[in-house]
Structure 1
Amino acid sequence: MSPLIRPLRSLANGLGFAWWARVQTHGPDVTYWFGPFVTKNGLEQVLPAFLDDLSSEAPSSIDHSVLRCRRSEPLTINAQG
């Protein structure tokens, strides 16, 4: 990986141009934010492995969407109550 990629990702995220995947599982109800990525293609190349990893935890369903936005912590959000 290029040494410039981390600062570039940080800049893209700070400006709201980074690509993120919002992944929601049900049973348990959790939202995961996966990113940031500089390009949509970069995200789409590694997203299947992330989804496969979540599938191994046996949620009842997994939904995801690809968004261009700015995110900060928390990147994992459990449903309340």
Structure 2
Amino acid sequence: MNELLTGFLSSIGLAWWVEITTDSPRCVYYFGPFPNKKMAQSHQSGYLEDLEREGATNIKIMIKRCKPSNLTIYDEKADAGFNKMPGVLSGQY
């Protein structure tokens, strides 16, 4: 029954999601859906640990109601530009 409710809430954009943004890689991740905010909050630490273990930096977490069209959004252009800045991660000064 819970999965049916969560599916319905997700289809109309009222399900809860954990939105995580990172600077490196330059991504937005969506984890969910969850039937309520409390359940989403209870799962966020596991997602955070996974991203930290993978080396993600400047991680920001937001719990919100939404209907993401993609679960991972990678900003390849911004990520490539950030890594090519002189003196930043390139070893050039």
TM-score by length of 1: 0.85
The structure whose RCO (Cα within 8 Å, separation 6+) is larger is 1
Higher strand share: 1
Per-residue CA distance 1:38-65 (angstroms, 9 max, x = gap): 0100111111111111110112210111
Paired with 1:33 and 1:5, the residues of 2 have a C-alpha distance of: 20
Higher helix share: 2
Identity of aligned residues (%): 31
Paired with 1:31 and 1:69, the residues of 2 have a C-alpha distance of: 13
Tell me which structure has the larger Cα radius of gyration: 2
Match of 1:47 in 2: 44
Per-residue CA distance 1:10-40 (angstroms, 9 max, x = gap): 1011122110111001111111011110010
Where structure 1 has 5 or more consecutive residues not aligned to the other structure, the ranges are: none
Q: 1:61 aligns with which of 58, 74, 89?
A: 58
Where structure 2 has 5 or more consecutive residues not aligned to the other structure, the ranges are: 78-93
Q: 1:23 aligns with which of 3, 13, 20?
A: 20
TM-score by length of 2: 0.75
Contact 1:13 1:71 in 2 (8 A): no
Moved over 3 A (4+): none
RMSD between aligned residues: 1.2
